[in-house]
Amino acid sequence: MLKEALKRGPVWALGTMSGTSLDGVDAAMVLTDGADVFGFGETAYRAYSEKERDVLAAALGQWDDLEAASQVVEGAHAEVLSDIAGADVIGFHGQTTAHDPGGRGTCQIGDGRLLAHVLDTPVVWDFRSADVAMGGQGAPLAPFFHHAALRFVGVTEPSVVLNLGGVGNLTFVNPSIAVPSEAGACLAFDTGPANAPLNDLMQVRLKRGYDEDGALAARGMPGEAVLERLAKQAFFRKIPPKSLDRDDFAWLNEAVAPLPDADAAATLTAAVAVSVALAMEHLPAAPARILVTGGGRKNTVMMDMIAKRTGLSTVPIEEVGLNGDMLEAQAFAYLAVRALRGWPTSGPGTTGVPAAVGGGVVSYPGDILDLAAG
């Protein structure tokens, strides 16, 4: 009866996200039928302790012996998810420790069966494996949600959702096409370096986590020779979809090593803008504006540089009524309902998979007991 009820009409889905920054777990409620968004609900955040971060950091890049890290992930998620009532289904991303599409595959730790049992709520999890098994990159998975969210808030013109995390990635959305998996509705790919090189610089030189509001970069001058070298990198000429690892542009930090602090920060900030401007060349049409999510949207110097390099209005995604801190958690709530209903969660234009594919394993309360009994 429960399974059938979840396959009809809008339901309240609770999504989670824990990124490789290892700061904590985001959780957010979305009212959706898996096609459209009808509303947003409660949100929550649960920070990892320093000890928990150390355990998770030791697991990054690892494929085996992940029991201790899994227990941290499961415990933190159970804690934050139990604080939000009313969810019909949970979308549990887990914690990525290793990602090697075309090689070993992808690894997100955390057992959705255990969470379904503890929370007495169906859980959809392991979202990326099916895409990777079909030859896709397994990422990004948020684009179909970006499409639905922009339609919900009334955006009608082609727009770009730009996520500035450690690496930059974007989704080109054409809201006039109703189904996100149809050709032309979504195109997604990594743009290049975002906050990772700049944050690494701040940590090494000044023992700070990031350049707050671009204050240091604002006092410097970008090194044009470094930016010219960046623009010549083969990655920017590669046809999307395409993806990057956090450290693929680690040479930028070596290149700015001779520069004073302010000039180095200005150069790494400008590198983000150069990367985004080059990404615009791959879009099927000129977007009306760039809607920015992720930590980079809080850096006004970075935002101004992107606007100048692209010639496009560049604004935080809050300008259209969306939550830039919770967008990824909301995405996995939405994807959970799509998975329940057997609909695609990724496609050729978003992950490079040959055909639209549905990801996610569905676990119901009692499944883990059935497994133990078997």
Q: How far apart are CA 88 and CA 147, in angstroms?
A: 23
Q: Which two tokens stand for residue 195?
A: 């906050």
Residue 206 has pLDDT above 90, yes or no: yes
Q: Which of 299, 316, 360 is nearest to 131 (CA)?
A: 360
- For 277-298, b/e burial (b = at least 16 CB within 10 A) is bbbbebeeeebebbbbbbbbbb
Judge whether residue 374 has pLDDT over 60.
no
Query: Of 263-267, 352-356, 368-372, where does mean pLDDT reach its minimum?
Result: 368-372
Query: Across the chain, what does the average pLDDT equal?
Result: 93
What residue segments make up the domains of the chain, in order of their start? 2-138+326-373, 154-320
- Same fold flag, 2-138+326-373 and 154-320: yes
**Residue with structure tokens 């700061």?**
23
pLDDT over threshold 90, residue 345:
yes
Sign of CA dihedral 164, 95, 47, 28: positive
Give the mean pLDDT of 353-359.
93
**Residue 103: what pLDDT?**
87
Residue keyed to tokens 């690496």? 167
Taking only the tens place, the pLDDT of each residue in 33-85 is 999 999 999 999 999 999 999 999 899 889 999 999 999 999 999 999 999 99
**Mean per-residue pLDDT, 204-222:** 95
pLDDT of residue 14: 98
pLDDT computed for residue 370 by the predictor? 60
In this prediction, residue 1 carries a pLDDT of: 45
**Residue 371 pLDDT exceeds 90:** no
Whether the pLDDT of residue 184 is over 80: the answer is: yes
Residue type (1 letter), 127:
F
The confidence score (pLDDT) of residue 266 equals: 98
Tens digit of each residue's pLDDT (9 = 90 or more) over 111-156 = 999 999 999 999 999 999 999 999 998 988 999 999 999 999 999 9
Q: 154-320 falls under which CATH superfamily?
A: ATPase, nucleotide binding domain (3.30.420.40)
> What CATH topology corresponds to 2-138+326-373?
Nucleotidyltransferase; domain 5 (3.30.420)
* Predicted pLDDT at 283: 96
With a pLDDT cut of 70, the percent of the chain lying above it is: 97
Whole-model pTM? 0.91
Residue 192 Ramachandran class (φ > 0 left, ψ -120 to 50 alpha, else beta) = left
pLDDT digits (tens, 9 = 90+) for 296-338: 999 999 999 999 999 999 999 999 999 999 999 999 999 999 9
Look up tokens 């201790």; give the residue.
Answer: 68
| Strands of the sheet with 186-193, listed across from one edge | 186-193, 167-173, 159-164, 289-293, 313-316
Residue-wise pLDDT for 15-28, tens only, equals 999 987 788 999 99
pLDDT digits (tens, 9 = 90+) for 257-275: 999 999 999 999 999 999 9
